[in-house]
Chain A
Amino acid sequence: MDQEVKLTTDIAIDQLKGTLNFRERYDNFIGGDWVPPADGQYFENTTPITGKKLGEVARSNKLDIDRAISEAHKAEKSWGKTSPAERAGLLLKIADRLETHLEDIAIAETLDNGKPLRETMAADIPLAVDQIRYFAACIRTQEGSISEIDNDTVAYHFHEPLGVVGQIIPWNFPILMAIWKIAPALATGNCIVLKPAEQTPTSIMLVIELIADLLPPGVLNVVNGFGVEAGKPLAQHSGISKVAFTGETTTGRLIMQYASENIIPVTLELGGKSPNIFFADVMNEDDDFFDKALEGLTMFALNSGEVCTCPSRALIEESIYDSFMERAIERIKKIKTGSPLDLSTMIGAQASNDQYEKILSYISIGKEEGAKALIGGEALKHSGELSGGYYIAPTVLEGKNNMRCFQEEIFGPVLAATTFKNEEEALTLANDTLYGLGAGVWSRDGTRCYRMGRGIKAGRVWTNCYHHYPAHAAFGGYKQSGIGRENHKMMLEHYQQTKNLLVSYSPKALGFF
């Protein structure tokens, strides 16, 4: 991207008005139309870059959800019967359209969420495009099965769509997390009612407008609003056949509770407190691999730490701790702060004021529990238009694994670091958490990496890497981190029923009656 002109939020918004028809007010997208909310109310969305108003979106309630679900049901009758080739074709067109507008979508995402443009350009949006293409491929190649029960009896297993599904999206990757859920659901022939997060309700609407002409009416409906007013009636609705949610544990439980009222499945991704484990041999050489390991530790600052798999617990072998941390802190000092719209900025704004306050409250309790801030440990004050935004300095808290800053997902650029004496202790500490979403293991010893990887109770163990999210690798949690997986073709079955036709080709009666 040409960045000769320094992007401010105003310039960025003006650019999006021209390229993506950015509007200051967004209605819901229901049945292929832009539909005002039933009671005519809207709420203000701010950009965390400056804390100033970005625009307004519909403040919806149960009536809007009812309408969206009704439209989805109308569409489902034909959409559910389209061929895999047709659905894949639509997905590929959507992917191409998004890719063509990648830079502008990235700017929209940065404005809405506050994350650095270099991340939305290099990760969020390209990954979203790839995810869509991946599921287009998966559905073309999925096969049912045939079981030969005996010579004259055959069990056919068909995949069928669930019907209409509800999807509730988090604010940390507003577009990518929406696409993670939309792509497999559309590929499998479901219709969707999607509720974006109320902190980041705008960027997804620009995406929807961009692809609206490609979508058959009612197949994908987006209803904005607050959790209690719009999310809850969606999760409770008797018209949905599944609900998918990414968020935290209490709401996850509540969604399971609502789902139990309708006896429908849920998939939940509820976060973690991921250990990132560094064995002494990473320092055997000062080479590319060690450089990569240092970057791996610094990944806690990716997306300003607002990642469910944030490697927020560094476990470092005691024998190298001091020298390793010295190099790590040097590396963390090189994180460039500033405007998220500047392509060289590495860490942007936290997504909201409440998130900003929460992170500071965690740094405070961490210090009170005796953790020592090796770097950061405070808010980051910027001048100019950024002075009203929500910025936290990359922080390392040195402490013990039983401290609260080691046990709770702070969802900010805060790394809790401690030591271990041997492999056994490393594994114990790694698993001493309520969660099990991600983990990282760094060592030049492949057999040790394998043992650790199998021993850690987490859905994904990055081994000598971190924060890769390829579409063809399953992502999801053990323990309280949730239920089900995202990415990977196995995701198709999270959105499908199994139809078994048990067919007898024998003319003979069984002989019971």
Chain B
Amino acid sequence: MAKIGEKVSVTKKAENMIRSLQADHGDLMFHQSGGCCDGSAPMCYPKGEFKVGSSDILLGEIEGCEFYMSCSQYEHWKHTHLTVDLVKGRGAGFSLESPRGYRFLIRSKVL
């Protein structure tokens, strides 16, 4: 699996949530989703829960969590830098922060 430079960072709010989730769930990972409903949102899982493979790319690490995206999606995202933020909400999907009434959200900047 390819690894590219650090293309992802994290806001203070999101960082605090990651630390709090780590306290409950241990090591974590992120995989950036695409498609409908909660697509385009980053999903946070216990480390190893989501099986990454040769179709994924490692964008970097945030708070000790590896952040992955599918290579095909990365082709459309590679000109942007991503910041993981946190907003109030209730995303669907299996992301760990949802039951707390918050949702990780991607904010992007053109590189």
Contacts and interface: CB of A to CB of B under 8 A. Distances in A.
Interface of A: 43, 59, 170-172, 197-199, 226-229, 231-232, 246-254, 257, 269-272, 308, 352-355, 357-358, 361-362, 364-365, 368-369, 402, 404, 407-411, 434-435, 480-481
A250 B93 contact: yes
Nearest to B50: A254
Nearest to A434: B72
Given A227-B95, A353-B87, A365-B80, A170 B36 contact: yes
A357 B73 contact: no
B43 interface: yes
Contacts of B2: none
B71 to A, nearest CB: 11
Interface string B67-111: 000101100110010000001111111111011000101111110
B41 A172 contact: no
Interface string B33-58: 11111111101010001110000000
A481 B35 CA distance: 7
Contacts of B108: 361, 364-365, 368, 404
B32 interface: yes
A481 B70 CA distance: 14
Nearest to B35: A271
Contact of B50 (A257, A354, A355, A480): A257
Nearest to A44: B101
Of B34, B49, B106, chain A has the most CB atoms within 10 Å of the CB of B34
Contact of B39 (A248, A354, A361): A248
Given A227-B94, A352-B90, A354-B90, A249 B39 contact: yes
Given A353-B87, A357-B105, A480-B72, 11 more contacts: A247-B35, A248-B41, A249-B39, A257-B51, A352-B89, A365-B80, A404-B77, A404-B80, A409-B34, A409-B35, A434-B72
A249 B110 contact: no
Contacts of A171: 37, 92
Could you say which of B49, B73, B76, B93 has the most chain A C-beta atoms within 10 Å of its C-beta?
Answer: B93
Nearest to A200: B92
B73 to A, nearest CB: 6
